[in-house]
Amino acid sequence: MKDDRRLGRGLAGLIGDNYDNKKDRQEYLPISLLHPSKFQPRKHFDEESLKELASSIEKNGIIQPIVVRKDSNNDGYEIIAGERRWRASKIANLDSVSVIVKDLSDKECLKLSIIENIQRQDINPIEEGEAYKKLIDEFSYTHEELASTVGKSRSHITNMIRMLSLPGSVKTMINEKKLSMGHARALINVENAESITEKIISQGLNVRQTEKLIKDLHQSSDKKEQKYTQNQDIAAIEGTISSQLGLKIKINDNNSKGKVMIRYNNPNELDLILKILNRKLESCQ
C-alpha cells in the first residue's frame, strides 16, 4: 500500500518536493511531441475553461510542469498528468512546454491518470464514477480501500459508481449540470427515471421536491399493484362460485365492502338460485 499512498497524494506524491530523482528529469519539449495518454479517464474538456487557462499561460507560463513518460516505440511522449495544460498551451501557441519525464509502468500510469483527474474539481461526475469503477475493476480495490487512496469518503465512492446505472439521457443531464448530485442520488434505481428527469427540469424541482415526487409515484404504484392483486383474487372467487352454480357471478368490491350479483337468464335459473338459498337458510336453523 506504500505505492498507493504515494499515488493517493496525486501530483505531489508523483513529483515529490524536488526533482532530484535520478530516473526523472525536468526539461522543455516541443509541444508537438506530446500526446494524450491511453489511460486518460476524461473525455470532455470545457472550451471556455481551456481559453481562460491559455490566457493565464500566455501571461505567466506553465507553473506546474506536465508529467510525461517516453514512448517505447517512437520519439513521442505520453502525457500522464497535465493534459489540460497541454491543450491550453496549444491554444496559447506555445512551441515548447516544461515537462517532467518519469519512468512509470502501465499500472502506475493508469492509477496516476485516474487519481490525478479525480482530485481535480472540473472532472464531471459520470467520468469520476467511471474512473472509480476502472480502478476497482483493474486493481480489485474495495470501496473502503479506494476511498482511502483518493481521499474521499466510502459513501462518496459508492454513490458515484451507482450513478453509472442511470439511463444515458439522465447521465447527460448530470454532465450538463442540469441535474445536481442530490437529484442524481434520488433517481438511482427508480423506474421511469427519464420521465421523472423531464419533470424535474421542466418544473424546476429542487432535491426535496424530487424526493417527494418519487415517493408519491412509488406509493401510487404500490396502490395500483395492491388493487391489481385484489382484482385477481376477486376474479378467482367469481370463477369458483360460477363453476359451482353454473351461473354468471359478479362481485363489486369497495374497500372490503360491496355486493355479489348473480345473473340469471330464465325462470329455471332463478328457481335454482332460490333453492340454493333456501337450503343454506335451513342448514343455519
Q: What is the DSSP string of 164-189?
A: GGS-HHHHHHHHTTSS-HHHHHHHTT
As for how many domains the chain has, the answer is 2
Worst-scoring range by mean pLDDT, 9-18, 41-50, 53-62, 170-179? 9-18
Q: Is residue 233 a part of any domain in this protein?
A: yes
Q: What is the CA radius of gyration of the chain?
A: 33
Q: Is residue 112 a part of any domain in this protein?
A: yes
Catalytic residue at 83?
Answer: yes
Judged on CB neighbours under 10 Å (0-12, 13-18, 19+), 243 is exposed
- Of 96, 121, 146, the residue at which a domain comes to its end is 121
Q: Which of 263, 231, 260, 234 has its CA nearest to residue 246?
A: 263
Average pLDDT over every residue of 45-62 = 90
Q: Is residue 35 a part of any domain in this protein?
A: yes
- Of 103, 121, 139, the residue at which a domain comes to its end is 121
Look up the domain containing 228 and give its range: 219-284
pLDDT digits (tens, 9 = 90+) for 117-165: 777 656 788 888 988 998 898 888 899 998 888 888 999 999 999 999 9
What pLDDT is recorded for position 157? 93
What pLDDT is recorded for position 29? 95
Q: Is residue 248 a part of any domain in this protein?
A: yes
Q: What is the mean pLDDT of the chain?
A: 82
Q: Is residue 83 a part of any domain in this protein?
A: yes
pTM over 0.85? The answer is no
Q: What is the DSSP string of 233-267?
A: HHHHHHHHHHHHHTSEEEEEEETTEEEEEEE-SSH
Q: For the domain that residue 11 is a member of, what is the CATH number?
A: 3.90.1530.30
- Of 89, 121, 153, the residue at which a domain comes to its end is 121
pLDDT digits (tens, 9 = 90+) for 188-224: 988 889 999 999 999 999 999 999 998 888 776 555 5
Pairwise pLDDT comparison (250 vs 43), residue with the higher score: 250
* pLDDT at residue 109 is higher than 80: yes
The answer to whether residues 187 and 166 touch, using CB atoms and an 8 Å cutoff, is yes
Pairwise pLDDT comparison (82 vs 242), residue with the higher score: 82
Pairwise pLDDT comparison (227 vs 116), residue with the higher score: 116
CA distances from 16 to 21, 80, 117, 147, 264 (A): 9, 15, 18, 22, 93
Average pLDDT over every residue of 37-45 = 79
Q: Which of 48, 52, 78, 83 is catalytic?
A: 83
User: In this structure, are 8 and 117 located in the same domain?
Assistant: yes
